[in-house]
Amino acid sequence: MSSVPERSAVDEADTWDLESIYASDEEWEAAYESVAERVDDLAAYEGQTTDDASTLLEVFELRDEVMREVAMVASYARMRRDEDTTNQQYQALTARAQSLAADAQSAASFIEPELQELTREEFESMAGSEPALETYDHYVDDILRMKPHTRSAEVEALLADLSEVTGATGEVYTMLSNADMSFPTVEDPSGEPIEITQSNLTNLLKRPEREFRRTVYEAYFDEWSDVRNTVASSYKNSVKADVKLAQARNYDSAREAALDGPNVPVDVYDTLVDSVNDNLDKLHRHAELKRHALEVDDLQMWDVYMPVTGGESPDLEYEQASEYVVEALAPLGEAYQSRVAEGLESRWVDVYENEGKQSGAYSGGTYDTQPFILMNYQNDISSMYTLAHELGHSMHSQLTKDEQPFIYSNYEIFVAEVASTVNEALLTNHLLETVDDPQFRTHVLNEFAERVRSTLYRQTLFAEFEHEAHRLEETGEPLTADRLDEVYRGLKEAYYEPAVIDDRIAREWMRIPHFYRAFYVYQYATGISAALAIVDDVLPDGPGSDPNRDAAEDYLEFLRQGSREYPLELLRIAGVDMSTSDPIDRALETYGKRLEELEQLVA
């Protein structure tokens, strides 16, 4: 029998308050019908966008209103589905909402090509006669920048219509991995049955009993072997869609297309990979520390998630974790800190795992709702860090919508991962300063080291994998399951040189949902690099603190800007230049120093 409760058994206080969006499914239905009609109103402006300044403003404002309403409809449906991915009613609502979003994008697809018929000077002249247009200045600049990669209105409409199809592989993968796949139930050393799930796998691989970890590891990855060809086919077609869409928009590669959206040069991607590869010795040192601490001859893949303490995390109830997180945010000011505390009391968070619930964690919501955080809290230090991480995203959204109009509310992932990781780094500093218990401190240092391993090193490994997968597709080499395993295995061998790389870990790429959003994961690695540099500056006694500069206020100003500027420019507001290797090198230097502290405690 499963130890994971059904949704109906979860205390309401531990669930998110989706009724604050729509009080009932019937109210959602009414909102859906209402905005569906407005989509047609938007489409009626085709061919008139730049007729005059007042018409242009009408188009912008109507587009924003429609997209805001569509976002609410889609967000509610998705989050209801994520509560229980086996619930077919909410699967259906999600599918309808996705179709509506595609219809809205299609209806608005004429706007950007028509805008690109303007020159910069013509837009400035229109803004002079209609001052409200000045709000859209950066947006228009971005649209004009993309002119070489925007097709005719007819082709853009077709591409928008096909978005459901081109994105279908990710939806198929989600249903397969969360709803249709079931993982074995294994006995723990005390004889208790434990069902392996997507959410508890990492936690089970932190258990101190090595043979149990091996059993979990093998059972989990053997389940993936049964769907190996299906997942390979799904990912192959996802990569193929990325490549074809990039070609349709006149890019030389899918990577260039993905990075050009937020205006990030590909050099930033290459600098990250080069800097991490130049510092693989630190990761090898971390692996060797694990081998030594665990007192094993060979570090196996089922040992990698084990803390160097050799045991499970101290038990940490959600309430205590929340308290630690709020206290840790004091360097960002009382207003920020109080707002987080209020959010935790206002059902921002869907806390615990239940049957069928979407695995992992994310921060959701829209411009017109409160933030919502999906978690699968496991009563450990890692879950506390995940809470801090997602609250960073949520507060970024809150501060952005306080200051920016809707058009600038959807900030790029490149900067989003900075906000989440700043919270994690502040939490580490707070815990090391305030908690005396040696075991707890060792676990905190271990968590920091693991976060760098999994966020900076592991995500860069993923970035190398998807870059190579797309390169193979672009050069005409078939993406078979065997070839994908080969690429992934080679990277694992380089990154985890002191460890034993087995056939099962070569299939690990199959369990990474982020690969269905191409060239996304590298931003976790750049994000933690920027975040550690910011925290160095924000902490009163930090290595980068400057008495002549209010680094915390600079950081909050960065958060308030949303997408008002391009990502690299936004980060410069916070004092970080990601066009160089400096933030990455600083992050890896901090990692090395924390490893030294950890080695001393373990010894």
Paired residues of 187 in beta bridges: 193
Question: What ranges make up the beta strands (E) of 362-432?
Answer: 362-364, 372-374
Question: Does 317 participate in catalysis according to the annotation?
Answer: no
Q: Are strands 372-374 and 349-350 parallel, antiparallel or unpaired?
A: parallel
Structure tokens at 133: 């247009």
C-alpha distance from residue 456 to each of 176, 343, 450, 452 (Å): 28, 29, 10, 5
Question: Does residue 489 contact residue 506 with C-beta atoms inside 8 Å?
Answer: yes
Question: Does residue 302 contact residue 205 with C-beta atoms inside 8 Å?
Answer: yes
Distance CA 16, CA 20 (A): 9
Label each residue of 476-528 as H, E or C.
CCCCCHHHHHHHHHHHHHHHCCCECCCCCHHHHHHHCHHHHCCCCCHHHHHHH
Long-range contacts, 245-251 (Cβ 8 Å, 24+): 245/159, 245/166, 248/151, 248/155, 248/159, 249/149, 249/150, 249/151, 250/148, 250/149, 251/149
Q: Provide DSSP, 218-258.
A: HHHHHHHHTTHHHHHHHHHHHHHHHHHHHHHTT-S-HHHHH
CB contact set of 443 (below 8 Å; sequence gap of 6+): 307, 309, 313, 314, 381
CB contact set of 457 (below 8 Å; sequence gap of 6+): 276, 280, 283, 495, 525
SS3 state of residue 206: coil
Question: Does residue 310 contact residue 407 with C-beta atoms inside 8 Å?
Answer: no
Bin 310: left if φ > 0, else alpha if -120 < ψ < 50, else beta.
left
**Which is the catalytic residue, given 390, 447, 450, 474?**
390
Question: Does residue 379 contact residue 389 with C-beta atoms inside 8 Å?
Answer: no
Within a 13 Å sphere around the CA of 64, how many CA atoms are in the beta-carbon half?
17
Per 3-state DSSP, the chain is made up of helix, strand and coil in percentages (nearest 5) of 70, 5, 30
Question: Does residue 231 contact residue 471 with C-beta atoms inside 8 Å?
Answer: no
Catalytic residue numbers?
390
